[in-house]
Chain A
Amino acid sequence: MSESEQLDADRIRTLLESEGDEIKENTRLFNAERYDAVEAVGEAEHEDNRSRAREIKEDAIERLPELVDRTREAVEANGGTVYVADDAADANRYISEVADDADADSVVKSKSMTTEEIDLNEALEADGLDVWETDLGEFVVQIAEEAPSHIVGPSLHKSREEITELFEREFDPDESLDSAEKLTAFAREYLGGRIDDAEVGVTGANFVMADSGSIALVTNEGNARKCASIPDTHVAVAGIEKIIPSVAELEPFAELISRSATGQEIPQYLSLLTPPVDTPAIDFDSEDEPGFGNSDADREFHLVLLDNGRREMREDDDLRETLYCIRCGACANSCANFQSVGGHAFGGETYTGGIATGWEAGIEGNDVAEEFNDLCTGCSRCVNACPVKIDIPWINTVVRDRINRGKDPGFDDMLVDGLMPDEEESGTPLRKRFFGNFETAAKIGSATAPLSNAVASTGLARKAMESVLGVDARRDLPEFERTTLRDWAEGRESPVEAPERRVALYPDVYTNYVQTERGKAAVRVLEALGCEVVVPDVGGSGRAPLSQGMIATAERKAEDVAESVLPYVEDGYDVVVVEPSDLAMFRREYEKLLPAEEHERIDQGSYEILEYVFGLLENGASADALPGGDGDGVAYHSHCQQRTLGLESYTETVLERLGYDVLTSDVECCGMAGSFGYKSEYYDLSMDVGATLADQFEAVADERTVVASGTSCMEQLDSLLSPGTRHPVELLDPAGR
């Protein structure tokens, strides 16, 4: 990748301007349709399908060598050929030979990301063959000489007007192609002739069924069926990970794939082909001969199974899950950043979207994945969207960690190593170590406040932070409190004499040093509902270093938290967390960072603050102890990781119970996500993503109190709307009225 194509502020700005509108409209439509389709089939049934699909993939990847052998036996018994290609060059060489044996002048293709991966078109064209993409989206991209921007809709970054201009320039048609209908009719006619003339048809395979040697193809246009059945020779190219045992295992995927991709119940065409098929060959040279020209040609079938790094991914405990991917694009559509810039920023040489980091790291290497890896903010909205339950944010974190470790130690390191109390190897970029060690900055900042705040806000300091650390000067910095939440809590006597429950309120870094008011409110609310509250001496959850891909540091933090918090759990305390991203650490990421038993105890023993308040009210605590809403309006933005955990509704319900009229935002993410929005190159993207949230709340901000659960969300909302965002628990604070 050349220097000019590196992802920087300019390139992001250019993509936002040139492709943003189309990408936004199309990805958000797919995403909304996915939600509707899942609701229509029922959450429980959808979850069943996801669990089954996941099990089938786990098992199939585990048994892959055996399934490759069975596939070969079945395809050969049917009269076809299987070729396992080690890499792109190997696959291309084989396919070129097949085309050569077929005396081919031209090849037609239906959509296949795997052939994009190996640059098959270029290889065949170098052999003098004409190659035509027949999927209309791929055709557009081919004519425009661009790369696909989306796994499912390769050209969805282009408007109808742009395609018209492109086609009219390229093909000089007799009449203007100024509608989607005319463009489609033109492409059908143009490509129809090319399909009839081609000697070889190349398709992908969404699934390969080992027992019968069948392939499944998912399309809406019908072009895969034509490419597979009209030319006498059919080559299907698929990654080896596409194999499932038999047609019986196809069922959950048939349920899931279109629903996850575009919100369709089923694609227009779900083809189960066991080539060579019985459909007769056509002899177009005997135009008027009945029986399709009475061809005496035999059908030929070649299945090319591509390794290209996949067998190594299978051995890699962290990248293995990538192989479960069924290329539905749901991770891209549910990703707020992808919704703004699309796959030309959020993708590598072939694959795009959330899962692209896993694919590109596995098949191309970490350097290709690095270009866009940081676009994953870890918001986790793709986690529930993925039909095979791949932990995409974790894969992105692991690859980020590996990229950090691959860097040569520079001069910075010698300066920083002694100052940063982290576990990272020399070479980890200074800026990542700064964000990853925010807890240290917060400690110092708080201890020296208000001086630290005053210094940090000077133009000189901001300029230095921007040039050295890449902290965008347009962002307001968090202001540290001199008195931490813990200091405040330590000097307090509990007003609850006979507590119903005992709570250890987790003082996350922000609540302890910056947003102390929401921590104090949480304490008072819990006490009003009959809880004894302590604020234990415990450090950061590890969220900040984890976001920077500093896994070893995050792991040490997790161990410290477990050591400090578990004794409280042992003693019967409930752990209550104010910051959703820290609760998400306890529930999700600690599974990867702590021994299973410790993770389980923390996971089971911890609650989000409003989830906990809901539980108290359900179990007899009186809402009268809290101030009522008197019908006041609230505009509520939940937090991305909180929504992934399914916790959004607790806040809504509690606020409604107290008499508030609640309007909840329905955007996937505010676009801030911790350090992301502070970074200079991502500032514009962060604001672009946030604009959708601002649009929803702007009209109501005057008459509704804006509340948000996460610190980052509050900061983003404060910069988007007039300042004054609060945490929901502050509305419940008895001292607040």
Chain B
Amino acid sequence: MSSGSVEQFQQSLSRLDAASTVVSPDELEATIADLADPPAIGAELPFDDLSLAETPVTLGPSPAQLRDAVTGVTGSRMGIASLGTVAVESREEGDEFVALYPERHVVVIKASDLRSDLADAFGWIRGEFEADRQSFILATGPSSTGDMGALVQGVHGPEQVHIVIVRDNE
């Protein structure tokens, strides 16, 4: 059940210097094709009704492809509207690597999976832990550091983050 709003989520993302696009399910493949600067890699989406199979994204890349990729596409089953956070799950599909190596991280999330705030998100996390799904990274905006004398984005993780919010079928 969603209680977070798409508008608030997008506002939070813009504060983080992260881009976002709202699409219908039908538009997803074309949108990914647009956003996936090549070479692009991906981890198959954790949704029954949405897939990266028909997009120009290499699933299950080789180590060389992983290192060379400019774009990495993953899905997320939970976002936090007030913070612009997405949950990246550690799965056999390799989401963790796809989300970290390339300089651009494209995240597909369903509007219905947005939670309102961190407290709401923790309700979801507790449920996931009970269901034995227990490894998530709550990622908020691009990776950054202040250690080199000024704030710089893109350190060990992505420099750009683009969130694709998929509207629910009506």
Interface residues of A (CB under 8 A from B): 26, 134-137, 139-140, 153, 155-156, 158-161, 163, 179-181, 183-184, 187-188, 191-192, 195-196, 212, 214, 220-223, 225-226, 229-230, 246-248, 250-251, 254-255, 265-275, 277-280, 282-284, 286-293
Contact A225 B126 (CB under 8 A): no
Considering the chains assembled together, what is the distance between the CA atoms of A287 and B125 in angstroms? 36
In the complex, the answer to whether B62 meets A286 with C-beta atoms within 8 Å is yes
Contact between B156 and A192, CB atoms less than 8 A apart: yes
A279 touches B143 (CB 8 A): no
Quick check: B94 and A280 within 8 Å, CB to CB? yes
Q: Is A292 a contact partner of B62 (Cβ separation < 8 A)? A: yes
Residue in B66, B96, B134, B141 whose Cβ sees the most chain A Cβ within 10 Å: B134
Contact status A270-B148, CB under 8 Å? no
Q: Is the CB of B157 within 8 A of A269?
A: yes
Residues of A within 8 A of B151 (CB): 180
Which parts of B59-113 form the interface with A (CB within 8 Å)? 60-67, 83, 85, 90-92, 94-97, 100
Contacts of A196 in B (CB 8 A): 67
A270 to B87, CA, bound (A): 9
Return chain A residues, CB-CB under 8 Å to B61. 290, 292
Q: Give the Cβ gap from A260 to chain B, nearest Cβ, in Å.
A: 15
Residues of B within 8 A of A137 (CB): 145, 147
**Contacts A283-B63, A287-B62, A292-B63 given: A220-B145 contact, CB under 8 Å?**
yes
A sample of 12 cross-chain residue pairs with beta-carbon separation below 8 angstroms, ordered by A number, consists of: A214-B135, A222-B156, A225-B100, A226-B156, A248-B122, A268-B142, A269-B138, A269-B140, A272-B135, A277-B135, A278-B135, A290-B60
CB distance from B36 to the nearest CB of A (A): 18
> Hey, which chain B residues are within 8 Å of A246, CB to CB?
129
Q: In whole angstroms, what is the CA distance A279 to B97 when docked?
A: 8
Known: A254-B118, A255-B118. A184 touches B63 (CB 8 A): no
B152 at the interface (CB under 8 A from A): yes
Among B94, B118, B119, B157, the residue within 8 A (CB) of A225 is: B157
B39 close to A (CB within 8 Å): no
CB distance from B74 to the nearest CB of A (A): 12
Contacts of A134 in B (CB 8 A): 156
Within 8 A of A (CB), among B33-77: 60-67
CB–CB B150/A266 < 8 A: no
A222 touches B157 (CB 8 A): yes
When distances are taken between beta carbons in the complex, the residues of chain B under 8 Å from A291 are: 60, 62
Judging by beta carbons under 8 Å apart, are A292 and B66 in contact?
yes
Whether the pair A266, B140 counts as a contact (CB closer than 8 A) is yes
The CA-CA distance from A605 to B82 in the complex, in Å, is: 44
The 4 closest A-B pairs by CB, nearest first: A160-B149, A222-B157, A274-B134, A180-B150
Q: Are B64 and A288 in contact (CB under 8 A)?
A: yes
Report the nearest A residue to B151, measured CB to CB.
A180
> Are B63 and A187 within 8 A (Cβ)?
no
Contact A184 B154 (CB under 8 A): yes
A486 to B: closest C-beta gap in Å: 55
- Residues of B contacting A288 with CB < 8 Å? 62-64
Instruction: State the Cβ distance, A289 to closest chain B Cβ, in Å.
Output: 5
Give bound CA distance, A273 to B138, whole Å.
11
In angstroms, how far is the closest chain B Cβ from the Cβ of A264? 9
Asked whether B23 is an interface residue with its Cβ less than 8 Å from the other chain, the reply is: no
Q: Establish whether residues A292 and B139, one from each chain, have CB atoms under 8 Å apart when the complex forms.
A: no
Q: Is the CB of B63 within 8 A of A188?
A: no
B96 close to A221 (CB less than 8 A): no
* Residues of chain B lying within 8 A (CB to CB) of residue A274: 134-135
In the bound complex, what is the Cα–Cα distance between A736 and B116 (angstroms)?
58
A247, A267, A283 pick with most chain B CB within 10 angstroms: A247
Q: Once the chains are docked, how many angstroms separate the CA of A250 from the CA of B96?
A: 22
Measured between beta carbons, the chain A residues less than 8 angstroms from B66 are 282, 292
Contact A225 B147 (CB under 8 A): no
The residues of A that contact B30 with a CB separation of less than 8 Å are none
Nearest CB of A to B120, in Å:
11
* Residues in chain B near residue A184, CB distance under 8 A: 145, 148, 152, 154-155
Among residues of A, the one whose C-beta sits closest to the C-beta of B119 is A251
Q: Which of A156, A159, A161, A223 contacts B155 (CB 8 A)?
A: A223
Q: Which of A183, A223, A271, A289 contacts B156 (CB 8 A)?
A: A223
A153-B156 in contact (CB<8A): no
Q: Once the chains bind, are A229 and B147 in contact (CB under 8 Å)?
A: no
- Docked pose: A268 CA to B67 CA in angstroms: 22
Q: In the complex, are the beta carbons of B90 and A268 less than 8 A apart? A: no
B119: A residues at CB distance < 8 A: 251
Q: Is the CB of B85 within 8 A of A266?
A: yes
B14 within 8 A of A: no
Q: Are A277 and B60 in contact (CB under 8 A)?
A: no
Interchain nearest-CB distance for A232 vs B (Å):
13
Q: Bound state CA distance, A273 and B90, in angstroms?
A: 8
Given contacts A140-B147, A266-B83, are A180 and B94 in contact (CB under 8 A)?
no
Of chain A, the residue at the smallest CB distance from B66 is A292
Q: Within the assembled complex, what's the spacing in Å between the Cα atoms of A123 and B145?
A: 28
- Other than the given A266-B138, A290-B61, A292-B62, 18 more pairs (CB < 8 A) read A136-B155, A153-B147, A158-B149, A188-B155, A196-B67, A221-B144, A246-B129, A247-B126, A268-B144, A269-B143, A271-B137, A275-B135, A278-B90, A279-B91, A279-B96, A280-B92, A287-B62, A289-B62
**Bound: A155/B149 CA distance, A:** 9
Assuming A266-B83, A278-B92, A290-B61, is B148 touching A272 (CB within 8 A)? no
Most chain A CB within a 10 A radius of its CB, from B63, B65, B85? B63
Contacts of A280 in B (CB 8 A): 92, 94
Distance, CA A212 to CA B131, complexed state (A): 11
* Smallest beta-carbon distance A136→chain B, Å: 4
